[in-house]
Amino acid sequence: MRRPALYSRSSRAPQAATPGAAGSETTTSTAPSAPARQRFGFPSAWRRNPSDPRLLWSVIASLALLLVLSFSLALRPVGRKLTQDDIDAAVLKTLETTVLPSAATAAHENIRPSVVRVMGFGHASSHGKGRKGGKGGKETDTDAGDLIERGIGSGVVIVDKGIILTNLHVVQGADTIKVMFADGLESTASVINIQPENDLAVLQAHKIPDDLIAATMRSTADLLPGDQVIAVGFPFGIGPSVSAGVVSGLKRAFRSPEGRNELTNLIQFDAAANPGNSGGPLVTMDGEVVGIVTAILNPSQQRTFIGIGFAVPIENAASAVGLHPF
């Protein structure tokens, strides 16, 4: 690295007079003396003519400038160190004047990219054309236009390569399964595993979005009655829809009116759920999945919500995929 030039502070020493050649006369010359240093005082022009008005106005202007500078320095506010009380007051003011999103809104924003619509299609029994015996005795249809929607439900992505959890009863008996992701992308899907004792099915989507986000799962070990939750899904095909409530109870049992196997160790909740919510996630206020919505209780024949819903704990659901992250 280059070093800066160094400069000496010493002044050059005066050169001595050069003596003349031997035998010659020495000539002495007198150099003109340096002008005398001017001492501090009034300008010489004023000393010569003190009554000159220009000089008087220059002095007045200088004094006025000094006066203005003095006042500006005196009026400058003195900086004050912020205290904790100042910070608390500012935060409180912000909270009072700024509308923050609700906890349910924040939870939904976290889970929204992972929720999918699940549709099951089957052959229209009223159409007798094109049917023939298929593999394993199952009827197939050579006319793809003969497929009609048999059921609709919800699902949640738990692995970002397109693995989806839903209810078994949503896709059971379907000849073709389709899923629609949060960005609108639609894909067919295959059932890769089932867990009948928990009414669960695991789907693999055949096509997925480039930026697919998997949901975060949370253990139910510390879940308590009264904890706030949301249910996200497609009730009656409308959605995605969000309903909010609380955990009403734990370790519940339920047997459907159709007489399916009794489901046990369920989470009871009171967030509104209706047909179409099946297979959707039950989510905490942190946006983490604690269960898969699977059933609603209604003593009448109406399949509508009256305040009691059930979800399979996520530990059981994750085991259907071979995962147990807790």
Catalytic-labelled residue, pool 169, 243, 248, 270:
169
Q: Decide which of 172 and 136 is more confident.
A: 172
- 267-276 burial code (b ≥16 CB/10 A, e <16): bbbbbbbbbb
In the chain, how long is the greatest CA-to-CA distance? 147
Taking alpha carbons only, the member of 186, 180, 154 closest to residue 167 is: 154
Q: Is 162 within 8 Å of 180 (Cβ atoms)?
A: no
pLDDT band at 21, cuts 50/70/90?
A: very low
Strands (DSSP E) found in the chain: 115-123, 131-133, 139-141, 147-159, 163-167, 176-180, 186-195, 200-205, 228-233, 241-254, 263-269, 281-284, 289-296, 309-313
Query: Is residue 273 in a domain?
Result: yes
Residue 62 known to be catalytic: no
Taking alpha carbons only, the member of 162, 180, 165, 182 closest to residue 113 is: 182
Side-chain half-sphere CA neighbours of 118 within 13 A: 35
Query: Is residue 150 in a domain?
Result: no
Q: How much of the chain is in helix, strand and coil states, percent to nearest 5?
A: 25, 30, 45
pLDDT score of 253? 93
pLDDT score of 131? 42
Q: How far is C-alpha 280 from the chain's CA centre?
A: 22
* Cα angle 271-275-280, degrees, rounded to a multiple of 5: 60
pLDDT score of 82? 83
pLDDT score of 318? 75
Residues 280-293 pLDDT 10s: 999 999 999 999 99
Q: Domain count of the chain?
A: 1
Q: Is 192 within 8 Å of 229 (Cβ atoms)?
A: no
pLDDT score of 55? 66
Amino acid in the structure at residue 221: A
Query: Is residue 109 in a domain?
Result: no
pLDDT band at 138, cuts 50/70/90?
A: very low
Say how far apart CA 199 and CA 186 lie, in whole Å. 24
Residue 278 known to be catalytic: yes
Listed range (59-73, 186-200, 255-269) with the worst mean pLDDT:
59-73
Query: Is residue 136 in a domain?
Result: no
Catalytic-labelled residue, pool 141, 146, 199, 270:
199
pLDDT score of 260? 65
pLDDT at 301 over 80: no
CATH number at residue 295: 2.40.10.10
Residues 234-244 pLDDT 10s: 999 998 999 99
Q: Is 263 within 8 Å of 198 (Cβ atoms)?
A: yes
pLDDT score of 199? 92
Residue 270 known to be catalytic: no
pLDDT at 317 over 90: no
Query: Is residue 310 in a domain?
Result: yes
Query: Is residue 121 in a domain?
Result: no
pLDDT score of 133? 39
Say how far apart CA 198 and CA 311 lie, in whole Å. 10
Report field, pTM of the whole predicted structure over 0.85: no
Residues 45-98 pLDDT 10s: 555 555 666 666 777 777 777 777 776 666 666 667 888 888 888 888 887 887
The share of the chain scoring above pLDDT 70, in percent, equals: 70
pLDDT score of 20? 45
Mean pLDDT of 247-271: 87
Question: By residue range, what is the domain housing residue 234?
Answer: 228-320
Q: What is the mean pLDDT of the chain?
A: 79
Kindly state the tokens that stand for 269: 């909740």
pLDDT score of 5? 40
* Cα angle 74-79-82, degrees, rounded to a multiple of 5: 160
